[in-house]
A and B are shown apart, each in its own frame.
Chain A
Amino acid sequence: MKVSFVLNGRNISYEIAPGEYLADTLRANHILSVKKACDEAACGACTVLLDGRPILSCSFLSARVEGRSVTTVEAVQDEVSEISDFFSDEGADQCGFCNTGLALTILALRNELKNPTDEEIKHFVVGNLCRCTGYQAQFKAIKRYLEAHK
């Protein structure tokens, strides 16, 4: 079957199987920033934005994005480049496998929460697991990024 939607600002149409999941569809179509780490909606690495809100693409049926808008980091390069500067500054740049999903989550956070507390920030990104950094450097980077965008 076909699914037609807006991908990174462009109208697109993909041939998919009814039971196919968005992460697989995107990766098969060379959107390689989308990572699969657990394939069971448990770790956040596959996060993409659907109509601006974070979803877990490994467990979201591709057919369900019909007529909607999907955003991956390929479409928000300047914003993500800026986030990466904050990450580097705090030493939060290690293996990077969780980073693309996390970057999109941070952009969604910036949109949704105005003046979040530390707890609210952590609560928003808690679904993005990281095994490398121990999270503190990530948190500091996120907090400073949000402060720079008040």
Chain B
Amino acid sequence: MEANRYLRPATLEEAHQLLLQDAKNILLGGGLWLKKSTSSANALIDLSALGLDQIKNTGDHIEVGAMVSLRDFEMSPLVKNIQGGILVSAVSQIMGVAFRNGATVGGSVAGKFPFSDLITPLLALDTTLIFYPKKELGLADFLNQKGRSSDILTHVVIKKSTGRAFFKKVKTTALDFAVINVAISRLNNEYRIAIGSRPSVAALAVKAMDTVNGMKALSDEQIAQAATLASEELLYASTNAASAEYRKALVRAYIKRGLEEVSK
């Protein structure tokens, strides 16, 4: 692609200043699909020299640097231990290994890709995003934020938990984008239900969650009701991949199966 400069700033402050200078200065995540969305840029800003490629165990949480590759994320024992390995199970379905060696956690989250198989399960967990200049934002709030920001996502912080979880990506071939993706996590009797690629980006099905939260055991009727609610409370649209009706039917089927599985 056409670009005037490639820069690798030594500090976050420098990177941030560069971003503020020009709307055509672009932050690089993995940069794998950069040329698909941008034909020309001014400066390409690489965050590789900022030590953001580590996954740290901070006691109650894990702190994932934005430049951690999807592959390193997928292979990390710390990540695997969270909620039955749901994040590993989801991310390992994204494209192929070489793709995941290039793509980054930060790029995938900051990009708010509607088809993202990372965002959906993260939303079903307790996930906080850390930005520079200093700001913390819950993932759900970040997804609801409109417009562009020149804040730099530096870390994705995930609370450790060992409950049950369920993830389903509906797709045509193994390398496809999700037609719909569904993540359910249960910790004690609290449920989080996230649905993505609707085609829009993952969102929590709060009404569905309300009907099952706090319940020690779930009856078939409650599960069916939650599934139906989830298929109605969020916006589903038709695309080349699937009609809205079919997406809703898939949601009903997989929320039901997911709740059955995690509520066992």
Contacts and interface: CB of A to CB of B under 8 A. Distances in A.
Chain A directly contacts chain B within the complex, with at least one CB pair under 8 Å = yes
Interface of A: 1, 17-19, 21, 39-42, 44, 47, 50, 53-56, 59-61, 63-64, 66, 105, 108, 123-129
Given A19-B3, A127-B95, A127-B96, A64 B33 contact: no
A42 to B, nearest CB: 7
A67 to B, nearest CB: 10
B98 A19 contact: no
B46 interface: yes
A11 to B, nearest CB: 20
A105 B96 CA distance: 11
A127 B3 contact: no
Chain B, interface residues (CB within 8 Å), range? 20 to 34
12 contacts: A17-B3, A19-B2, A19-B44, A53-B71, A54-B101, A55-B101, A55-B102, A59-B33, A60-B102, A63-B44, A66-B8, A125-B96
A56 B103 CA distance: 10
A63 B96 contact: no
Nearest to B94: A127
B92 A59 contact: no
B35 interface: yes
A124 B97 contact: yes
B4 interface: yes
B98 A105 contact: yes
A56 B59 CA distance: 35
Given A18-B3, A40-B36, A41-B32, A56 B102 contact: yes
Interface string B7-40: 0100000000000000000001001111110001
Q: Chain B contact residues: over half helix, strand or loop, or mixed?
A: mixed
A41 B95 contact: yes
Contacts of B32: 41, 56, 59-60
A19 B42 CA distance: 10
Nearest to B5: A18
B85 to A, nearest CB: 15
A55 B44 contact: no
A40 B174 CA distance: 17
A63 B5 CA distance: 10
State the 6 A-B residue pairs at the shortest beta-carbon distance, nearest first.
A127-B96, A19-B3, A18-B6, A54-B98, A63-B6, A19-B1
Contacts of A44: 96, 98
A6 B102 CA distance: 19
Contacts of B40: 19
A50 B6 contact: no
A43 to B, nearest CB: 9
Contacts of B174: 126
Contact of B101 (A42, A50, A128): A50
Interface string B76-105: 000000000000000010011111011000
B211 interface: no
Contact of B33 (A41, A126, A127): A41
A34 to B, nearest CB: 13
A116 B34 CA distance: 33
Contacts of A129: 175
Contacts of A18: 3-6, 44
